[in-house]
Structure 1
Amino acid sequence: MAVTQQEIENRLWDAADELRVAMPEAQYSSVIFPLMFWKYLSDTWEHNHQTFLKENEALGLSAEEAHEVEYSTYQTFKIPFIHPGTVAERRASWSSILATVTQPGLGQRVRASLQAIETANPDKFSRLFGSMAWASEEVLSGEVLAAVMQAMDRTPKMHEGNMSHDVLGGAYEYLLKRFSDGSGTRAGQFFTPREVVELLVEILEPKSFESVYDPTCGSGGMLIASASLLKAHGGRGYTLKLYGQEAVPDTAGVARMNLFMHNLTQFKVEVGDTLKDPRFTKSDGSVKQFDVILANPPYSLKWKPWSNDPRALGGIAPQSSADWAFVQHMIASMDPKKGRAGVVLPHGVLFRGQEASIRRRVVNDDLLEAVISLPPNLFYNTSIPTVILVFRAPGTKVPDRQDGVLFVDASKNFIKAKNRNIITDANVSDIVAACHLKMDAGDESADPTEANSLSSRFVPTTEIAANEYDLNIGRYIKQAAAEQEDLGTLIDAYNIARAERQKTEQRMNALLAAAGIEGFDE
């Protein structure tokens, strides 16, 4: 009997819910995902092992011959033994350790099993399970860990003979979303809403056998969506070569497990700070280039600016915000013949003064193809409105997109949900259609009959230059300008007022200190 999506999701959430007595929901993922993947590996290995035994029992193979046949034909990874040669020897499998849940030291055995699997499969599972700090008795008691494992064991067997990778991958994504819905910032840091990911992928259109790169890959959702949408459009998603870099080791492990759960094996996920230490490089030290680059990097991240880096196109992003540094890295990572990139960022990147020189260079080099204004409150960790910036390698824009930028105002295209706004499939289709609509310079397109209409306009480079390379969408689309005040002007006015207030407070505090009045905080 086939396993339903609802059934596996309910069982997995029951297991996660056992953690409520031990840790906040934001930390559930660090426990549930390694356990879920361990069970998947163990169930798959055991299923293949039983198939091997059934098909070869009459051959009378020696132990050495049986091992060679099984691992050359039936198994794609190893589940080794822990504590070999001792009385504590047992296979590092889910079922073997589950049988010992009532014995002391459960966390130690779980950790030893996961580490043994990593060591036995270095090419596939190296550093896969992360730090495993949760396996410590001080973090998670043996009683709670046992309860989680027993609840998860009620989940149907996780192997291809019992459930498809679509179901398994869907369950994994369900947990990612559930953790993000309920736990706010920490979980939301590595989960971008599905509809935003799909919009970005639809715009960039990955093709079979292309390379796809996410420099801040989080849980790997954008890489997976690239393969899924290519398959949905009749392409071969499994042919994509997927690359990701993630700064947090545990989150990189989540991404690797996520990719495996979706039956995607042509991938590399590296750990490190993309700006400081890009892990995908050429032999000469320059960054590796890809066909498609897409990302939702951390917004306005404080960073240590480059001192001498060839990625710094048009200038160096300020220390207070690495937004444009991520863009510069993505531009440098575009294949020169067909590279394209898309990134989700806050509106400030469009008009902040410190980054004007970068915007000038990017626009003058005709690299920026589109600016797409998204609705507010789409994300789990911030309510601010965001934009998608789309870039093309030099000289690769289609003729009607050259020497200018397409502006699309999709800020009204959403529906309200319980915790956040949502872009519907129809909204995604409308925005993608607007991006592909052929327009003459200066024309503005809008459908006033639509309640959630969007407007678009292709703006020539000369007009953007006349506005000193301010990309604030209200400067170029009448509808956006009519509905809201110039956000750039408001921000500038606020910053000036704040600076004046700080100067006044400094003078006041100096006068108070001279008068012998200390500790005046307000």
Structure 2
Amino acid sequence: MPDRADDWNKAMAGARNGGGDLNFEAELFKAADKLRGNLEPSEYKHVALGLIFLKYISDAFEIQRVKLEKEEYADPEDPEEYTAARVFWVPEIARWSNLKANARARDLEITDPATGKPRRVDIGGLIDAAMEAIEKANEATLKGVLPKDYGRPALDKQMIGDLVELFSDIGMHEEGEETKDLLGRAYEYFLSGFAGAEGKRGGEFFTPRSVVRVLVDMLEPYKGRVYDPCCGSGGMFVSSEKFVEEHGGRLNDLSIYGQERNNTTWRLCKMNLAVRGIDADIKWNNEGSFVRDEFSNVKFDFILANPPFNVSDWWRANLEDDIRWSFGTPPQGNANYAWLSHIYHHLAPRGTAGVVLANGSMSSQQSGEGDIRRKMIDADAIDCMVALPGQLFYSTQIPACLWFLARDKSANGHRDRRGEILFIEARNLGRMVDRTRREFSPEDIEKIAGTYHRWRAKGADFGLYEDVPGFCKSAKIADIAKQGFVLTPGRYVGAADIEDDGVAFEERIADLKDRLSIQFAEGRALEAKIIEALSGVRVGE
């Protein structure tokens, strides 16, 4: 494979030395992307991610198997020895060593896991049988989750074999946690890469990492129940667990719950969490969280959500008197305030939530949205508003905002901020990472989250928060009422202070006049030259 050798070797070198930032993931994605040929990213996504998942669970199985073989009374062939260690049981047909050995198979006889009868397959059919066998052996967790269409005639079997060989070197000689981290990072990076390639459609299943990090760093989900009512591919949950690990917490202190309406995206989420070793209760139904709330009687300590913006077809007649509409019935033509109401309803007595919504939600007066917003403000349901820059999302170029809701603004060890809302103007933050998309840097995230935490602080940090003109403002509800209960941060933070350079205002104006006079004179001279040139042109020649 000479045309892909360079990317291939770089990726494998990165994998063997531990990856190093994003070099390993980027090179691996580049090498894998070259293999897809004319296959659309939306279709190829499931091919590549399914194989990364297979590689992960097979590696985890083999590591546990080695441990069991060293134990005197353990049975390496007992599936319960694996499930007790939170490792998937992998039947022999599905072990990566078998897939790697048959990566170029064109006519292989296997025993069909579904029927128990022999049949002949190529590498695609072998992978389908592997997926089927894994689901059958782990029904409680994986039933209906894994892709099983690798054997279809339209799929290039040379490409599948190439992918199997590409992924074969990842983690093969690493310790368990290193293997999990490498494959988890690869899965997450591939999700991001496919979201970028798919554009708007890709944004429906993936929230950009830096946006998720802002939400997580502001809410700090150390302990309790975490919920996402439209969880996509599970990025909120992955970042929450990363946060706990980075700050020395215990992962067992966090319980994760989610719901997703799109079955394909739900399957991506289940695989994403499994690759990360994250235990979660993720529900799917095709009616969605409004019509069929899978956790109707559960309250959560933290809720993180990036709902689809401005959904117009969400309403059903049976929602008319729903208990969730405590601030008023949301308009039938836009689900933004339905999401806010649903999320607030599910907050525990001291719960907090972070929600991504379209900018219009901060100021809209249509169909009673202004009245609902006013009632939320009067009820002290809103803790903080953050205005985001444009071009952060794969699915839309329009600017969005973050709503932070709280059940009790005097609780959770925080300073009493009842009767106030913090406004953060972050539209000028972030940097362009490519021609169409912006991303927050770690410093940007710290600036936003740090401001919020100083505002909420008690104890030693009490009094450290200060309003910063042009960036943040703590506003009283009375001030917000004067603005017609509009929550756009720009209305409250004012203009940034201009640094005094010692030049008097009169001197600046005089200098500006001189420069304008020169530019006007140059413009007039250029105009005369153009007219002179045009006067010599004869029509019809």
**Quick one: which of 343, 349, 358 aligns to 1:346?**
358
Q: Tell me the residue number matched to 2:49.
A: 33
Deviation at 1:32, TM superposition (A): 1.1
Q: Tell me the residue number matched to 1:445.
A: 467
The alpha-carbon distance between structure 1 residues 221 and 77, as it changes in their structure 2 partners (threshold 3 A), is same
**Quick one: which of 345, 349, 354 aligns to 1:332?**
345
1:77 paired with 2:88, answer: yes
SS at match of 2:474: strand
Unaligned runs of 5+ in 1: 82-90, 283-287, 448-453, 483-522
Q: Tell me the residue number matched to 1:102.
A: 106
Deviation at 1:318, TM superposition (A): 2.4
CA contact (8 A) 1:47 1:159 kept: no
SS at match of 1:170: helix
Deviation at 1:395, TM superposition (A): 5.7
**Quick one: which of 117, 129, 135 aligns to 1:112?**
129
Q: Tell me the residue number matched to 1:300.
A: 310
Q: Tell me the residue number matched to 1:211.
A: 225
TM-score, with structure 1 as normaliser: 0.78
Deviation at 1:180, TM superposition (A): 2.4
SS at match of 1:370: strand
Deviations 1:8-27, CA, capped at 9 Å, x for gaps: 66345423431223x21233
Q: Tell me the residue number matched to 2:195.
A: 180
Unaligned runs of 5+ in 2: 1-14, 108-120, 457-461, 499-541
For residues 253-402 of structure 1, the aligned pairs below 5 Å read 253-265=267-279, 267-272=280-285, 273-282=288-297, 288-305=298-315, 306-336=319-349, 338-353=350-365, 354=367, 355-394=369-408, 396=410, 398=414, 400-402=416-418
Q: Tell me the residue number matched to 2:246.
A: 232
- Match of 1:302, as an amino acid? S
SS at match of 1:479: coil
- Match of 1:309, as an amino acid? D
Deviation at 1:400, TM superposition (A): 4.5
Deviation at 1:403, TM superposition (A): 1.3
**Quick one: which of 207, 210, 222 aligns to 1:195?**
210
Deviation at 1:111, TM superposition (A): 2.1
In 1, Cα distance between the equivalents of 2:478 and 2:91? 65
1:67 paired with 2:78, answer: yes
- Match of 1:328, as an amino acid? S
CA contact (8 A) 2:16 2:171 kept: no
Deviation at 1:65, TM superposition (A): 9.5
SS at match of 1:192: coil
Deviations 1:251-309, CA, capped at 9 Å, x for gaps: 222222222222323x1111131122121233xxxxx1110001111111122323221
- Match of 2:402, as an amino acid? I
The alpha-carbon distance between structure 1 residues 292 and 65, as it changes in their structure 2 partners (threshold 3 A), is closer
Deviations 1:99-122, CA, capped at 9 Å, x for gaps: 443224443332232122112112
- Match of 1:107, as an amino acid? G
In 2, Cα distance between the equivalents of 1:69 and 1:28? 34
CA contact (8 A) 1:207 1:235 kept: yes
The alignment's C-alpha RMSD in Å is 3.0
CA contact (8 A) 1:118 1:125 kept: yes
Deviation at 1:69, TM superposition (A): 8.3
In 2, Cα distance between the equivalents of 1:347 and 1:66? 56
Deviation at 1:444, TM superposition (A): 8.0
Number of residues paired by the alignment? 448
SS at match of 1:255: helix
Q: Tell me the residue number matched to 1:10.
A: 27
TM-score, with structure 2 as normaliser: 0.75
CA contact (8 A) 2:25 2:185 kept: no
- Match of 1:102, as an amino acid? R
The alpha-carbon distance between structure 1 residues 358 and 274, as it changes in their structure 2 partners (threshold 3 A), is same
- Match of 1:296, as an amino acid? N
Q: Tell me the residue number matched to 1:121.
A: 138
Deviation at 1:97, TM superposition (A): 4.1
SS at match of 1:279: coil
1:169 paired with 2:184, answer: yes
Bigger-Rg structure (1/2): 2
Q: Tell me the residue number matched to 1:45.
A: 61
Comparing 8-17 with 232-241, greater Cα deviation is found at 8-17
The alpha-carbon distance between structure 1 residues 160 and 328, as it changes in their structure 2 partners (threshold 3 A), is farther
CA contact (8 A) 2:170 2:183 kept: no
1:243 paired with 2:257, answer: yes
Q: Tell me the residue number matched to 2:161.
A: 146
In 2, Cα distance between the equivalents of 1:333 and 1:191? 23
1:221 paired with 2:222, answer: no
SS at match of 1:178: helix
Q: Tell me the residue number matched to 1:406.
A: 422
In 2, Cα distance between the equivalents of 1:72 and 1:261? 15
CA contact (8 A) 2:468 2:493 kept: no
In 1, Cα distance between the equivalents of 2:64 and 2:453? 47
The alpha-carbon distance between structure 1 residues 326 and 142, as it changes in their structure 2 partners (threshold 3 A), is same
Deviations 1:220-267, CA, capped at 9 Å, x for gaps: 1111111211222232234311111111222222222222222323x1
